[in-house]
Amino acid sequence: MKNWMLMMAFGVLMASCVNENKTMKEMNPFYETYSALYSVPPFDKILNKHYLPALKEGISQHNKDIDQIVNNPAAPDFKNTIEALDKSGDLLSRVSTVFFNVKEANTNDSIDQIAVEVAPLLSEHADAINLNAKLFARVQEVEKQKEKLNLNREQERLLEETFKRFVRGGANLAADKKEEFKKANTELALLELKFDNNMLAETNSYKMIVDKKEDLAGLPESIIAAAADEAKGLKLEGKWVFTLQKPSWIPFVTYSQKRDLREKLYKAMYSRGNNNNESDNKSVINKIVNLRLKKANLLGFESWATYVLDDCMAKTPKNVYDLIEKVWTPGLKRAKEETADMQKMIDREGGKFKLASWDWFYYSEKVRKEKYDLDEEEVRPYFQLNNVRDGAFAVANKLYGLNFKQIPNMPLYHPECQVFEVKDRDSSLIGILYMDFFPRASKKGGAWMNNYRDQYHYEGTADVRPVVSVTCNFSKPSGEKPALLNFDEVETLFHEFGHSIHGMLSQCHYRTLSGTAVSRDFVELPSQVMEHWAVEPEVLKMYAKHYQTGAVIPQKLVDKIIKAGKFNQGFITTEFLAAAILDMDYHTITKAGDIDVEKFEKASMEKAGLIPEIIPRYRSTYFNHAFPGGYSSGYYSYIWAAVLDCDAFEAFLEKGNIFDQGVATSFRKNLLERGGTDEAMKLYVNFRGKAPGIEPLLRKRGLN
């Protein structure tokens, strides 16, 4: 009797647990089909507590998908192994894209802690797949048969990329080496997360408080108002606060007449992560560089750069250094000329000091006014954010026939987001675009494009259209003024919008190959080519309208902008290439050892011949692209892609029409729609009819 009652109670308890588990799953929005318009993520329902269980469940479900592939009794073929792998892990993909995108754009302590907990789990999960001997054996078997399978080019490419991913993921390593490889991956995941968190903490922690009005001398009213708003938010009424967000520090060092304060703020900017505190990144860099070298060596490569570039257009470090040298020499020559111009101005004004890096923005702006009669603040009122955004939309409409409509009442991860449906000429859906423009403490610095959902179209199923986001850190509205951009921010908007177009126009069958899933030195082509239209007179007149009067930008200002287009290109080119060299120098190290980050950086720049008046665009301890970001041994990609984008835009100029429909259609069909379905250079030649040359780039920058 007692045993029967005990068993009955146990059964009730188990049923209760099952029901509770079921209820918990039902309450987690990631476990349900997204019901919002266009099936966008239900940001309004997602709570921080949902992420970790959904990520763990996603890992569990992905493991089951892998087990089904591995244990399939049928002989391995393209469909049951390669395509099945591409389809696997749907829940994990949905959760992780939301989680990591939100972490970048709107994080908090809870999300940061979840990231620390889940990073090693995801690293271990990826390794478990890449190092699964039975799974790799099936992939190998399909790869051996590839000549007999009658695959189309996209299927061939998926097979090639899948096989390569396993080999580069350590599948061929001996058992003991696999354990070393896995350990390195786990450590790297945590270190890269630490670098990122340190960077955000350093950026957010610094505030330069100004309490004397005379210390605001030279600053435009809009910048003063923004600083007052910042102070008000910190309960510092009657004062002005300047931060290390770009919309704050760049205008200050550009216009402030107080050299000591310019130096103070500039040094705070370039000292981030190098303050010997809990957020210091020097030891993190040391460990990252050595662990990456260890991984590369395990896989048979002499350096991390050799490993990374083997999967890029550049192929070898030598090819990267060769390109850098071709642009570095004329760029540095021009930078020295610009330095001389500014020193003459300092001497003429009785400055009695040598130009320093914290003076460059200030004196280059003065030289620009003197040489070209162009004042950036005179131009800014014509670059109201929403008008610039609509200008980018108009360019996409004239080139590709795309139409953008803002959708109200959509689920948002932050109230400042805007959402647009994007449709083609025939009214078919192209994608959903989220845009998030302003800096905040919960958002990392910079600008980027991400996917919340990839495009794919498996045979016999509906075409799944992408959900993409563009995230920036632009000048905020201040006082009664709307957000007014400087021209650097205008180009940034067009740039990131170009990435989004690449993601949305994708017409691929497989997620692994769709949209922006291309090599890093190719992915910047669609973004950088869009920048060309931003400054074209025909386009400026489409979107550059005075925020108060609505008047189109006057021709005299357009002429000044065009005339000054090559101004300061020595600095712009050299500071960028200095960072690219620094990235390459770290990652071409072939011998493990302790790295003194400050000495290493100094030696790297001295060897390159960088002049002391310029520092790298990113110094080591806040070099997000090279360390936590996905551009290690890849920051050069922007200049590599610049060769492509200048050559591509030349195709429009050769036709005498920047909106030539023949060229635009070819660019869309041969590049933007194709994702990574073929070799990057082949895609480019299919569009252009020939390989790119460097001359259009040098000509555009005035360096030839």
The residues near 550 (Cβ < 8 Å, ≥ 6 apart) are none
Does domain 35-130+132-168 correspond to CATH entry 3.40.50.970? no
pLDDT of residue 454: 97
403 forms beta bridges with 423
- As given in the structure block, the two tokens for residue 458 are 């498996």
Instruction: Name the average pLDDT for the chain.
Output: 95
Alpha helices for 473-536 (secondary structure H): 487-504, 520-534
Q: What is the pLDDT of residues 297-353, one digit of tens each?
A: 999 999 999 999 999 999 999 999 999 999 999 999 999 999 999 999 999 999 999
Determine the pLDDT at residue 704: 86
641-667 pLDDT per residue, tens: 999 999 999 999 999 999 999 999 999
* 599, 486 contact by CB (below 8 A): no
Q: Which of 202, 338, 496, 650 is catalytic?
A: 496
> What pLDDT score does 20 carry?
42
Asked if 397 and 661 count as a contact pair (C-beta separation under 8 A), the reply is: no
Say how far apart CA 483 and CA 606 lie, in whole Å. 40
End-to-end CA distance of the chain: 97
d(CA 493, CA 615): 25
Separation of alpha carbons 574 and 613, rounded Å: 11
Q: Is 124 a catalytic residue?
A: no
543-563: pLDDT as tens digits: 999 999 999 999 999 999 999
Which among 516, 518, 400, 514 is positioned nearest to 455, based on CA atoms?
Answer: 514
- What's the confidence (pLDDT) of residue 582? 98
- What CA–CA distance (Å, rounded) separates 384 from 380? 8
> What parts of the chain have a pLDDT lower than 50?
1-22, 24
Instruction: Tell me where in the chain the CATH 1.10.1370.40 domain(s) lie.
Output: 381-567
Residue with tokens 């004004």: 349
| DSSP 8-state code for residue 215 | G
CATH of 381-567 among 3.50.50.60, 1.10.3720.10, 1.10.1370.40, 3.40.1390.10: 1.10.1370.40
Q: Which residues of 371-393 are buried (b: 16+ CB within 10 A; e: fewer)?
A: ebebebbebbbbbbbebbbbbbb
